[in-house]
Structure 1
Amino acid sequence: MVMFTTIGGSALYFPKVSNNNNNSFLFHCPSKTTKTTNHYQQQHLSTITCSSSIITNNLVPIPNYKKNPLDFEYYVRDRCKSGNLGLDEALGLFDQLLQIRPLPCIIPFTQLLDTLVKMEHYHWVFNKFKLMLLAGIQPNIVTLNTLINCCCYVGRVDLGFAVLGNIFKRGMRPDPFTFSTILKGFSRKGDVNQVLDLFNKMLENQYPLNVFTLGVVTDALCKTNDTDAALKFMTRMEKINIRPNVKLYNTIINSLCKENRMDEAVHLFEQMDTKSVQPDIVTYNSLIHGLCRFGRQKEVTSLFEKMLSQNIQPNVNFCNIFVDFLSKQERMEEAFQIVELMPQAGLIPNVVTYTSLIHGLCNLGQWNKATELLNEMESRGISPNAQTYSILIDYKCKEGKFDEARHIFEMMTEKGLEPDTYTYSSLMDGYCLQGQMEEAKRVFDSMVVRGHEPSIINYTILIKGYCNARNMDDAVQLLNEMRSKGLKLDTTTYTTLIDGFFNVGKVLEAKELFYNLSTKDLQPDTTTYNMIDGYCKEEIQGSKVKEDDSHEAMQLLNTMIEKGFSPNAETASMQVNLSVKATKL
């Protein structure tokens, strides 16, 4: 443990992140005598590898830093805020600030350091910070927060703690952003335990918190799919009068939507209104995207109307969500209307917009319109991406036109686009549907060779193909391969194999897999239960129902109904037959 003594005298303990003894290099410099400082400045300025000349491509005249130092400081501030400050110019401005006499205050130096962090030139931040110290310029809390942020961005949270130690050593009191920055560093590394430990230490020592701190912890929890903990954390913070803002609500709502917990997401959205937190376009994007996936059209329409009533203007992402929703609903006329209206709102359709439209047209079998739209898209300078081509390949595979699908695949790779697992899945599925298992396996192997890790979906497609071809040996071999790679099988994979074993008359193997579902924390679905008709179909048809088999099949059917599943007509008929046969035994 590392202990820092706070200003009030109480002790604050932190976990020891690293045994690296070089943490002090950030603050190690010679004594600040005029001779040493001037010598170091001259040496550095004569050997600096980057040009110190300022790029003058902006219309604002550059003040003379020697004659008008205050104007020059304002100029530095404005250039940092502009968002178009380049590296050479930033370094040049920093060096010219160092030449002003008397030396400027810390503020313009801090502004430039912060800009360098945002530009991701982290080594220059350390370089210029040390140069600043050697010049005799003392950092303030904002400067040191910026340095901590830089340390965390390069994955050295331990150096961030070293800076924190220097803050205490200088008699400064950390502000909410000091700790929030370190918390964010742990969060980037995925170390939620460290995030929570440090946050609890902050509470114990009564260090100041703000909504940004709360947002960092919430984001860390949601990234690890612990949304329930994030909700509890938000409630806990409200009890100490830290009110969540729209960004925090957005984080949790988005996480709930990703977990398909739409009712809870909508409830949290409604809670925002009661707590006077105004939603923004990000809030609506998450909710509408989630509701669209579940086809909850009325709620989508209601939310859209509410959004417009609050004068929240749609962005491109929002329009893409709507276009995708309408396309999947086969409401292509409405989808095209939205695209036509986008330019009036200053929004330009992008590759995602066109890809959704092409997908919708392909689902309707309107290939000619899809290719026309593809040509229009390219004529507007919008290049199709891997997903666009994958949709076209999938359509051709489902039509059984593998030569055309292969041609599109080759055209895609010639343009330098890397096929993704969806692309390969489309080709594999097409070949499997046609019973061309050698070709399907060849595509699978090609995917692996190109560095793509097969997913459960990829494996399940092949397994289903082998099951349909009554080749259970190869299907089981793939199953074992999945297990050896640590892939967690889902209900669909098990259902596919159970069906395959039933079809080849291997009832015992099917039964074993069925009962394995519960040991793997998986619940059989309706499809799984409806497959158990294979368990004793032959016996029923031949009036050879064994008492044990009859009772077991009835038990499975009753379990199905108890769990709320609805048997299909064939399974329900089997239930009646089993009951009749059982009474005759």
Structure 2
Amino acid sequence: MPSSLLSPCLPPPSVPSQCPLLNSPLFFSNNSRNNYNNIRQNKLVLLATPSSSTGNSSESTPLRPLSLANKTDRLYSKEVSHLDNIGNNLIEKDSGVPIKEEEQENLNFENRNSRLQVRNHVDRIRALSTSEKVEILDVFEKDCGFQNLSDFNDLLMALVIADEPELALKLFGKSSSYGLVPDSRTFSILIRCYCKRNDPSEANRVLDLMMENGFQPNVATFTVLINSFCRRGRLQKAFEVFKVMGTIGCERTIQTYNCLIKGLCYVGRVDEAYKLLMNIKKSCKKPDIYTYTGVMDGFCKVGRSNEAMELFHEALEMGLTPNVVTFNTLFNGYCKEGRPLEGISLLKQMKERNCTPDYITYSTLLHGLLKWGRIREALQIYKEMVGIGIEVDERMMNTLLRGLCRRSWKEEQLLKDAYEVFEKMQTGVPVIYPCAYGLVVQTLCIGKEIDRAIVNLQEMVRMGHSPRMITFNSVIRALCAKGRVDEALSILILAYEGRKIPSGISYNLLIDEFNRQGRLLGACNVYGAALKLGVIPHRKPKER
């Protein structure tokens, strides 16, 4: 491997203090060290075999204490969700960029039966209530514990996958009481457990202890730990672990490099990530689409979408197939830089490549178009989303409605679209924001839908909203224009009852209309009411 590839690496780490849990007597029984040769040969060591245990101890016997299974059968009124596809993909939740892990050893399964056993345990654990989960270990203890180490590891792994790391650590703490000596798989699961707890420092201590006692972690275990450090932005520690891999001769996979690239981009060291990509290309490793996507994501986050697009074309030239995450990375970059229209053409290209857009695709693009005022294009994307059954979130619906209302005041053809969006929101969106509601009332007035405007204004007040005075004035102006001055006066009273101080505009509109109709007494009354509130209208009642 070129030395430049390791340029970000730091000197080897000093030996960390040992984990208190691992340092306790329960981790290594008195006889355990005499059994390490067997452990290294991947044999199962059983210091205290239950009297009912028969057969070869190296085979994974079904868990006899399946009271857990019996306990959960009654909870299976419907099928529980499948085990996450953790063997194929490790997903970074913070940014959505996946890091592919093709090695089946990622789960450290010994055989197919073990994989099925873990899957079964995970489904059953997830079906338990919180209080029942706490009792899992007690159930196993009452039923004589475990018949062999493979069963123990299966349950330990199931607890980790089921997002129960605390229970997994509690189970591991009782390993010596079951007469079991941890093997390489136990260590690897424990490392994964600490990583799931977002505690890579403890996972690193387990790794050190694992190697001190003659076990060599596989590449998947190293990669999980490196990824955990990278997710927390601790690149120094990640590269230290990366260097240890080279020291003990553990060949890094492209997935290991992908973790480092994502970590570098996460802390803003995008140029170093790009350099690492270039070094990978010069080596015997072949970058995959996730490698390119990681660097592209880094470029997009710092406003360098053009360079990200160059990498995109380079990936295509290499014969790599971009996935939805790759495209979403570019959408995000374009929208951040105020170039959402380029996202429209990118969406078309995405479809041409038979890559199906997902919720993130459309939401990112719609958000960008709305943010930069491209209302017509945003309406087009919105309609496309509705057409294929993708829900638009509450915030973007309100933003779209406000944009359509304002634009329709100059472009009447958008009035219909504004009404349709509003009607859909009335039945499908939990909350219509007051500012959006007010704009709808104003838009209805401009579109000469006065009665609907009054109904919605009253609905706003009934819901506890406090419409702005400009909203009241819009209705008053529309009613006065139709000669409905008495109704306009009732709207003024509605505003006053809502603790709104009517402006001079409100009184001017009413006085003008009363004057026009020759109702001088009404004009005088409105003028007097204004003065009483300290408002001096520009219009005055006509003299007889």
Report the TM-score, using the length of structure 2 for normalisation: 0.52
Matched, 1:115 2:115: no
Deviations 1:322-358 (A, max 9, x none): 2333345555554323322333433222332223333
Q: 1:2 aligns with which of 11, 14, 24?
A: 24
Q: 1:219 aligns with which of 222, 227, 230?
A: 227
Q: C-alpha separation between the residues in 2 aligned to 1:351 and 1:268?
A: 31
Return the letter of the residue paired with 1:240: I
Percent of residue pairs identical: 22
Matched, 1:388 2:408: no
Matched, 1:289 2:297: yes
Q: 1:32 aligns with which of 52, 60, 64?
A: 52
Q: 1:256 aligns with which of 251, 261, 264?
A: 264
Return the letter of the residue paired with 2:153: N
The answer for the alignment partner of 2:364 in structure 1 is 356
Return the letter of the residue paired with 1:9: N
Matched, 1:317 2:321: no
The answer for the alignment partner of 2:347 in structure 1 is 339
Q: C-alpha separation between the residues in 2 aligned to 1:221 and 1:418?
A: 40
Return the letter of the residue paired with 2:207: F
Match runs of 1:152-231 below 5 Å: 152=160, 153-154=163-164, 155-162=166-173, 164-165=175-176, 169-170=179-180, 174-175=183-184, 177-231=185-239
Q: C-alpha separation between the residues in 2 aligned to 1:334 and 1:353?
A: 13
Task: Tell me, yes or no, if the aligned pair for 1:80 and 1:111 is still in contact at 8 Å.
Answer: no
Deviations 1:213-250 (A, max 9, x none): 21232133223321222122212321221232222222
Give 1 or 2 for the bigger CA radius of gyration. 2
Shift of 1:312: 1.7
Shift of 1:318: 1.4
Q: RMSD of the TM alignment (CA)? A: 5.2
Return the letter of the residue paired with 2:170: L
Match runs of 1:74-153 below 5 Å: 110-119=114-123, 121=125, 138-139=147-148, 141=150, 143-152=151-160, 153=163
Matched, 1:235 2:243: yes
The answer for the alignment partner of 1:489 in structure 2 is none
Going from structure 1 to structure 2, the CA distance change for 1:108 and 1:10 (only over 3 Å counts) comes to closer
Task: Tell me, yes or no, if the aligned pair for 1:257 and 1:286 is still in contact at 8 Å.
Answer: yes
Going from structure 1 to structure 2, the CA distance change for 1:201 and 1:418 (only over 3 Å counts) comes to farther
Q: C-alpha separation between the residues in 2 aligned to 1:179 and 1:293?
A: 37
Gaps (5+ residues) in structure 2? 1-22, 37-46, 55-63, 87-109, 410-416, 438-463, 465-544
Task: Tell me, yes or no, if the aligned pair for 1:281 and 1:314 is still in contact at 8 Å.
Answer: yes
More helix by share: 1
Shift of 1:263: 1.1
Return the letter of the residue paired with 1:114: V
Shift of 1:289: 1.7
Task: Tell me, yes or no, if the aligned pair for 2:195 and 2:203 is still in contact at 8 Å.
Answer: yes
Q: C-alpha separation between the residues in 2 aligned to 1:362 and 1:136?
A: 60
Matched, 1:415 2:437: no
Gaps (5+ residues) in structure 1? 12-26, 35-39, 56-78, 84-105, 428-445, 447-585
Shift of 1:276: 2.5
Return the letter of the residue paired with 2:158: C
Q: Classify the secondary structure of the residue corresponding to 1:355.
A: helix
Task: Tell me, yes or no, if the aligned pair for 1:30 and 1:134 is still in contact at 8 Å.
Answer: no
Q: C-alpha separation between the residues in 2 aligned to 1:120 and 1:424?
A: 46
Q: 1:247 aligns with which of 255, 264, 267?
A: 255
Going from structure 1 to structure 2, the CA distance change for 1:53 and 1:375 (only over 3 Å counts) comes to closer
Matched, 1:278 2:286: yes
Deviations 1:555-577 (A, max 9, x none): xxxxxxxxxxxxxxxxxxxxxxx
Q: C-alpha separation between the residues in 1 aligned to 2:200 and 2:296?
A: 29
Q: C-alpha separation between the residues in 1 aligned to 2:328 and 2:68?
A: 52
Comparing 182-191 with 361-370, which one deviates more in the overlay?
361-370
Task: Tell me, yes or no, if the aligned pair for 2:125 and 2:159 is still in contact at 8 Å.
Answer: no
Return the letter of the residue paired with 2:167: R
Deviations 1:176-204 (A, max 9, x none): x3212111212222333322222221222
Q: C-alpha separation between the residues in 1 aligned to 2:290 and 2:398?
A: 28
Shift of 1:384: 0.7
Q: C-alpha separation between the residues in 1 aligned to 2:69 and 2:356?
A: 47
Shift of 1:413: 9.1
Q: C-alpha separation between the residues in 1 aligned to 2:69 and 2:240?
A: 54
Going from structure 1 to structure 2, the CA distance change for 1:135 and 1:192 (only over 3 Å counts) comes to closer
How many residue pairs match? The answer is: 353
Task: Tell me, yes or no, if the aligned pair for 1:355 and 1:387 is still in contact at 8 Å.
Answer: no
Q: Classify the secondary structure of the residue corresponding to 2:34.
A: coil
Task: Tell me, yes or no, if the aligned pair for 1:389 and 1:412 is still in contact at 8 Å.
Answer: yes
Shift of 1:131: 8.6
Q: C-alpha separation between the residues in 2 aligned to 1:107 and 1:252?
A: 30
